[in-house]
Chain A
Amino acid sequence: MSEGPKGLRISIRWKIVILLGLVVGAITGLDALLVPTRAAEAERHSLRQRSQAAAAMLADSVRPALEFEQSDAAQQGLRAALADPLVLWASVYDQQGQRITAVGDGSPSGRSRVLALTQAESGLVAGLAEVTTEDGNPLGWVGVGLRADGVSERRASTQQTIAIQGVLVAIVGLMIAFWIATQITKSVSEIRLAAERIARGDVDRELQLRPSNDELGDMARSFHRMNERLRELSRAAARVADGDLTGEIGGDGELYASFRQMLQSLRELTTRIASSSESVSSAAAGMFSAVREQQTLATQQTSALEEIRKTLESLSDAARGVAEDASSVRDMSGRTLESSQRMAEHTRLVSAHSERIGEILQLIQDIADRSDLLALNAALEGTKAGEVGRGFSLVAAEMRRLSEHVMDSVRDIRKLVADMRAASHSSVLATEESTKLAKDAASAAVKISDAVRRQQEGTNQAKVAADEVVRAVNESLSGAEDTTASAESLLELSHDLKNTLRAFRTGETA
């Protein structure tokens, strides 16, 4: 806000008073100068006409005296003019302009002087009239001088009166002007104070302006309306500041339209920020979880890599043991091969014995079968022998049961022998497989020795690589911690933003 131009500060009331004083002074001065002068000129002009008229009347009265050159008669005719108190003198001049006779004091001696007096601004006014015969022949001139000193006195008196009146009018007018200007200035000052209060933003209180019935009253009422509208705007702004974006703002005009547009923009902005903060919050939470998970994984990887490194060291140590063991395996495989060959021979011998047992069992079964048949026949014979053969039949029945038991046992033994033969066969196959495996084991032991040696080299390289990976993962962990801190900050910021946005009510459901 500019402070205004520098310089002497003069109140409006004084400006009005000074202006009015100057106007009154100028008018009074002009009146004091011009009015008496013009009045004096008018009076002098009147006196001049009056002297001309007097001269003309005297010219008629002195004409006979001049025709007959009787100066006494002419002087007698002039004396009538002295009856007028304003007449100072009257004189008669011949055709050459020389004074013939005169009455009164101070008459000029020649007509030219009288003629000069008619034009001069002096204390007297002179009039001149020509005297002619009946035929119009010139006889001479009559001059009359009137007293004009009262004109100047009246002019001076008039000027004084006008000056006094002007001063009085100026004083009264200035007082009235000062009072009116004070009233105007007071109203203007109140309006100014109200404007300053509005300018400061203090629009909550009612304005104490007197509603006069003039332009200042209109201005005060306009200020009242402006204050009310600004108060409504202020309350709307307070609601907006309090986060309530749901209200509506009425009113026409660019300011209200701009305010409504600002409120609508704030609503949209708040909604967009809420949506964005929701997305940022979700993204931050997701990022935080992902980073945490990554950190956890990295930690687990570090532990796992440490375990792997230790395992590789163990593997390296174990590989040396395996190499030694492989050598032992190779030796043992040779001995196993010999044992397998001996076992195969023994198994074949067992199989041969099983064959023999089968043959014996077949023989036993045939015997039992024959015994059964024999027991049947014996029972039949015993039956035919009647009561005598009953004991024989009983023996036969017992013999039959015995043969059945034998055949049951033979069947069981045959089954066992069959199982044994199958086992022997499997054992032979297993022994052959074992022999083959022993050969393969010896060969594999050699390969294992070579493989273990290569594995040792690979293990050492893997251990070095694991160390490198551990270092890289540790560096990644350090970076993940920074990222976690950033994600936490972002998450907190998004939560703060959401909490802040909760203070704004846009009338839309979240």
Chain B
Amino acid sequence: MTQVVLLSHGGVACALPAAQVVGGLGADVPSIELFGREETQPRRTLVVETPVGRRVVWCEEARFDELDPDAMQPVPPLIASRLNLPHVVGLSGEAGDLRWLVDLARWEEP
């Protein structure tokens, strides 16, 4: 099982590797936007430590959990080219819940 932090970012269910997440903070911290949209109702932020630096991402809610590695799969190249979101690296379809697997090390400033 892979340990992850499940979060809801602007209503979109995402998952971050638990090893990258340092901890949670309040909402009053500058944070990044994963999908190029404005923040809706940020309640808290997550501090993520990546090889390229520390990132702070806002979310409505977050919790620690585990995902089945067999339920994970990479984003197909055609969809990845259309999404134009390099930090979205895969999908998890465990128990019918579709989640985007996000690697903030690949996040680029817009």
**Residues of chain A at the chain B interface (Cβ within 8 Å):** 369, 372-373, 376-377, 379-381, 383, 393, 396-397, 400
Contacts and interface: CB of A to CB of B under 8 A. Distances in A.
Given A376-B5, A377-B24, A381-B23, 17 more contacts: A369-B44, A372-B61, A372-B63, A373-B24, A373-B25, A373-B26, A373-B44, A376-B62, A376-B63, A379-B64, A380-B23, A380-B24, A380-B64, A383-B19, A383-B64, A396-B64, A400-B64
B13 interface: no
B64 A369 contact: no
B26 A380 contact: no
B105 interface: no
A380 B63 contact: no
Contacts, number: 35
B43 interface: yes
A376 B18 contact: no
A381 B3 CA distance: 12
A381 B19 CA distance: 10
A372 B62 CA distance: 9
Contacts of B71: none
A376 B23 contact: yes
A396 B63 CA distance: 10
A377 B23 CA distance: 5
B22 interface: yes
Contacts of A400: 63-64
CB-CB nearest 4 A-B residue pairs:
A379-B64, A377-B23, A373-B24, A376-B24
Contacts of B23: 376-377, 380-381
Contacts of A369: 43-44
A214 B23 CA distance: 164
Nearest to B26: A373
Contacts of A383: 3, 18-19, 64
Nearest to A379: B64
Contacts of B22: 380
14 contacts: A369-B44, A372-B61, A373-B24, A373-B25, A376-B24, A376-B63, A377-B24, A379-B63, A380-B5, A380-B22, A380-B64, A383-B3, A383-B18, A383-B64
Interface residues of B, number: 16
A396 B64 CA distance: 9
Contacts of B63: 372, 376, 379, 400
Interface string B8-34: 000000000011011111100000000
Interface string B22-62: 11111000000000000000011000000000000000011
B44 to A, nearest CB: 6
Contacts of B26: 373
A353 B32 CA distance: 41
A322 B83 CA distance: 81
A300 to B, nearest CB: 72
B82 to A, nearest CB: 33
A397 B43 contact: no
Given A373-B24, A373-B26, A397-B64, A380 B44 contact: no
A57 to B, nearest CB: 205
Nearest to B45: A373
B45 to A, nearest CB: 10
- Residue from A372, A376, A383, A396 with most neighbouring chain B CB atoms (10 Å): A376
A381 B18 CA distance: 10
A396 B23 CA distance: 13
B42 to A, nearest CB: 12
A370 to B, nearest CB: 8
B6 to A, nearest CB: 10
Given A373-B26, A396-B64, A400-B63, A380 B43 contact: no
Contacts of A376: 5, 23-24, 62-64
Contact of B21 (A372, A380, A393, A397): A380
Contacts of B18: 380, 383
A384 B71 CA distance: 24
Nearest to B66: A383
Contacts of B5: 376, 380
A204 B43 CA distance: 132
Contacts of B24: 373, 376-377, 380
A62 to B, nearest CB: 213
Contacts of A397: 64
Contacts of A377: 23-24
A72 to B, nearest CB: 222
Nearest to B61: A372
Contacts of B21: 380
A397 B18 CA distance: 14
A337 B5 CA distance: 62
Contacts of B43: 369
A379 B5 CA distance: 10
A376 B46 CA distance: 10
Nearest to B22: A380
B44 A393 contact: no
Nearest to B64: A379
B61 to A, nearest CB: 8
Contacts of B61: 372
B59 to A, nearest CB: 10
A400 to B, nearest CB: 6
A21 B104 CA distance: 179
